[in-house]
């Protein structure tokens, strides 16, 4: 038991160290390595953390989707625990997208917000998962909540491909995809490396936060069970 605890502590420490190093590398790449974009200037450097936040939010919501499917298939509450934790972190990263996007848009489009398909679907995505977290916070019995939340988590995920493809399907102000986009699109190699480093840093940050959030959720459920046992 003690060995397992020591191993967990070592793993957590190592994960923190690697995440911190990756974030430092990403900041170095964003501010010192990546070239200044010709038309937008320095403000384009928001792009690296804006896109990384969006991709990690998609990853978090995909984990919610996967864990929800697994919960419905197996009724194992461990999957529900992961879904609940990942949803909160997905909302956190979507919040970062919704903060950095308008700050990038203002100097480039001359407006903080426009009801553009990409922006609107992203806001809807954020609201869907806020509703998901509220459902969890206010529902009663553990298994019933898990069942409802799993169905919500699966249906809510439908908005992720809509957000992703919105800039391909509709006319939009938002920049077209820079990876896997149309001919002539793409990134300068140093910009691409910077984006990948930022993406790795944020993915590691997601993993670190998920471990912390899962631990919290586990303790919260233990408290609920202890309260029930005490009241029985």
Footprint on this chain of other proteins (rule: CB under 8 A): 40-43, 45-46, 49-50, 53, 92, 95-96, 99-100, 103-104, 106-107, 205, 209, 212-213, 215-216, 219-220, 222-223, 226-227, 229-230
Q: In the complex with other proteins, which residue's Cβ is closer, 64 or 150?
A: 64
CB nearer other proteins, residue 1 or residue 229: 229
Q: Residue 113 burial (CB < 10 Å; 0-12/13-18/19+)?
A: middle
Q: What is the C-alpha to C-alpha distance for residues 45 and 53, in angstroms, rounded to an integer?
A: 14
Tell me how far, at minimum, the Cβ of 26 lies from other proteins, in Å: 11
CA dist 130 and 122 (Å) reads 12
How near is the Cβ of 208 to other proteins at its closest, in Å? 9
User: What is the closest distance, in whole angstroms, from the C-beta atom of residue 50 to other proteins in the complex?
Assistant: 8
Q: Find where tokens 């840093």 sit.
A: 201
Question: Based on CB atoms, which residue is closest to other proteins, 63 or 205?
Answer: 205
Name the residue nearer to other proteins (CB basis): 7 or 106: 106
- Residue pair 86/63 in contact (Cβ under 8 Å)? The answer is yes
- How far is residue 146's CA from residue 150's CA, in Å, rounded to a whole number? 6
Query: CB of 174: closest distance to other proteins in angstroms?
Result: 17
Q: How many other C-beta atoms are found inside a 10 Å radius of the C-beta of residue 197? A: 22
Minimum separation from the CB atom of position 68 to other proteins (A)? 22
> Considering the complex, what minimum distance in angstroms separates the CB of residue 132 from other proteins?
17
Looking at beta carbons only, is 25 or 40 nearer to other proteins?
A: 40
46 Cβ partners below 8 Å, 6+ apart? 100, 103, 104
The answer to whether the CB of 89 falls within 8 A of the CB of 138 is: no
Q: Which of residues 99 and 169 has its CB atom nearest to other proteins in the complex?
A: 99
d(CA 169, CA 152): 25
């Amino acid at each position: 038991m003690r060995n397992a605890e020591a191993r967990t502590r070592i793993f957590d420490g190592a994960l923190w160290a690697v995440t911190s190093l990756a974030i430092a590398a990403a900041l170095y790449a964003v501010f010192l390595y990546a070239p200044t974009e010709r038309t937008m200037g320095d403000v384009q450097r928001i792009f690296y953390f804006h896109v990384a936040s969006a991709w990690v939010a998609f990853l978090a919501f995909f984990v919610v989707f996967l864990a929800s499917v697994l919960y419905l298939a197996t009724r194992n509450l461990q999957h529900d625990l992961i879904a609940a934790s990942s949803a909160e972190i997905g909302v956190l990263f979507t919040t970062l997208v919704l903060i950095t996007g308008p700050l990038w848009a203002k100097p480039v489009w001359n407006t903080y917000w426009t009801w553009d398909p990409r922006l609107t679907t992203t806001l809807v995505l954020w609201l869907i998962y806020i509703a998901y977290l509220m459902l969890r916070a206010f529902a009663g019995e553990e298994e019933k909540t898990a069942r409802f939340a799993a169905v919500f988590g699966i249906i809510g995920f439908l908005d992720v491909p809509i957000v992703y493809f919105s800039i391909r399907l509709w006319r939009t102000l938002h920049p077209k995809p820079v990876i896997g986009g149309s001919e002539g699109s793409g990134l300068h190699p140093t910009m691409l490396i910077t984006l990948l480093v930022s993406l790795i840093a944020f993915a590691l940050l997601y993993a670190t936060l998920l471990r912390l959030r899962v631990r919290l959720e586990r303790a919260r459920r233990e408290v609920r069970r202890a309260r029930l046992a005490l009241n029985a």
